[in-house]
Structure 1
Amino acid sequence: MRTLTVYHLGHIDYTSAWEMQRRLARQRSSGQIGDTILLLEHPPTITLGNKARPEHIVATPAELAARGVVVVQSDRGGEVTYHAPGQLVAYPIFKLSQHGSDVGRYVRGLEESVIRVLAGYGLTGERVNGLTGVWVRGGAAKICAIGVKLSASGVTTHGLALNVDPDLSGFELIVPCGISDRGVTSLAVELGKAPPMAEVADRLIASLCAIFDLRPVNALS
């Protein structure tokens, strides 16, 4: 069984994590490393995917500055999303040819990993036809956003952001994922209490490894 090297990075700014992804993706492409994943939390950050529209940031620059929110144009797929402490972010650096060579199947696998984590907490995670991510309450509220990129050499970057216990008011600064008629929620809201972030991270890694047939190994740094 192939291994999955897991980096637990704690709190790290978006651009630093992005640069680390790009470095690891080059190494994965050349075969220097195997499949790898970064687990982390970002400071308040709005990211724009390749389908994002500027009007989906509804806050003014002054409001963003007052809240200490930075805006980054990313190269991932998808639209606009919000990151903040209390949100578990996972960036898999996978060689897709070893996982079916199908981006859609890969994204469904990421969704399934979160659905299994939610099930472990007694929640029913769902997909919404035509949309990406994981939802609860019959699709009324999104709990996990997903946006990925596939390099020319077939290596994935970016990934998923699962709301454990972030300040959800930050999502009011944007039109989350360009969807205006559905809400955003978190494990803390749905359960009445936030589970420990480390516990959620461990469960997510276990789910991902089960789905993609990998064995987790913690990175040395």
Structure 2
Amino acid sequence: MNTVPEPNTASTVVSWIDLGKMAYQSALLVQEQQAAALLSSDVDEQVVFTVEHPPTITIGKNGTRDHIVASDEELSRLGFEVFNVDRGGDVTYHGPGQLVVYPVLHLNPWKNDVSRYVRMLEEVVLLALQEVDVEGRRLEGYPGVWVGDAKICAIGARVKRRNTGEFVTSHGLAFNVTTDLNHFQTIIPCGIVDKGVTSVRELTSDPVSYVDWQQRILHSFAEVFEVSLAEKR
């Protein structure tokens, strides 16, 4: 049973919706519908979605299919799907054992600052890693979270502006918990040729639970963003 982090005294309440295991396009539709409602001011609800995808490659607005190194036949054999998406960034992998977090928020409570928002997403992961004595870091010029020269969390956000001026976010972060790192060999992750990828399971000898890390990331999100999370079904 998933448990929502304990409410804090923050005035901003964010709904948490766990989509479970869901195909990429289905989850994309869910977040796009929520973002559209925020953009049109039909709702003012702030929502964070968590989801685990089947093997999927997405190509961001700054990406190229040249950074997919596996053949179409190999991708088909492995059960991969490939999508062009409207987030920032290059080529990214999603798959089992990877915790994907899609915050669909308007940024008014966070000074409507997109750069600050991305840094806060990074801080969520850095703080969670500290709890198990893993030293994550930022790498200048490379959004995301790194352990040494290996990326453990990719970040790719999209923002649009409401008529009232607030930016509305979609997409988010992809954090490798028990991810099969061999799957990254099908791509040049984020178009970076001289660095690797890693996961929590690779970095620790202790048993690693996806659900435990989902809760750890949510607690960290509530702390960094100074919000109360309320589970919504």
What amino acid is aligned across from residue 66 of structure 1 in structure 2? R
Paired position in structure 2 for 1:24: 34
Give the TM-score normalised by structure 2.
0.91
- Distance (whole Å) between structure 2 residues aligned to residue 53 and residue 75 of structure 1: 13
Paired position in structure 2 for 1:190: 203
**Secondary structure at the residue paired with 2:152?**
strand
**Matched positions, count:** 218
Counterparts of residues 69-218 of structure 1 (less than 5 Å): 69-137=80-148, 140-153=149-162, 154-218=167-231
Following superposition, the deviation at residue 195 of structure 1 comes to: 2.1
Following superposition, the deviation at residue 206 of structure 1 comes to: 1.3
Following superposition, the deviation at residue 212 of structure 1 comes to: 1.3
Give the TM-score normalised by structure 1.
0.96
- Distance (whole Å) between structure 2 residues aligned to residue 198 and residue 67 of structure 1: 25
Once superposed, which parts of structure 1, at least 4 consecutive aligned residues long, lie more than 3 Å away? none
Following superposition, the deviation at residue 28 of structure 1 comes to: 2.4
Pair 19,194 (structure 1): closer, same or farther in 2 beyond 3 Å: farther
Contact 2:12-2:109 at 8 Å conserved across structures: no
**Secondary structure at the residue paired with 1:132?**
strand
Following superposition, the deviation at residue 152 of structure 1 comes to: 2.8
Contact 1:165-1:194 at 8 Å conserved across structures: no
**Secondary structure at the residue paired with 1:28?**
helix
**Secondary structure at the residue paired with 2:137?**
coil
- Distance (whole Å) between structure 1 residues aligned to residue 170 and residue 99 of structure 2: 16
Contact 1:187-1:194 at 8 Å conserved across structures: no
What amino acid is aligned across from residue 90 of structure 2 in structure 1? E
- Distance (whole Å) between structure 2 residues aligned to residue 69 and residue 36 of structure 1: 28
Residue 51, structure 1, aligned to residue 62, structure 2: yes
Q: What root-mean-square deviation, in Å, do the aligned CA atoms of Structure 1 and Structure 2 show?
A: 1.1
- Distance (whole Å) between structure 1 residues aligned to residue 205 and residue 69 of structure 2: 29
What amino acid is aligned across from residue 142 of structure 1 in structure 2? K
Following superposition, the deviation at residue 131 of structure 1 comes to: 0.7
What amino acid is aligned across from residue 62 of structure 2 in structure 1? K
Contact 1:165-1:188 at 8 Å conserved across structures: yes
Residue 6, structure 1, aligned to residue 20, structure 2: no
Following superposition, the deviation at residue 193 of structure 1 comes to: 4.1
What amino acid is aligned across from residue 188 of structure 2 in structure 1? V
Following superposition, the deviation at residue 194 of structure 1 comes to: 4.6
In structure 2, stretches of 5+ residues that fail to align are: 1-10
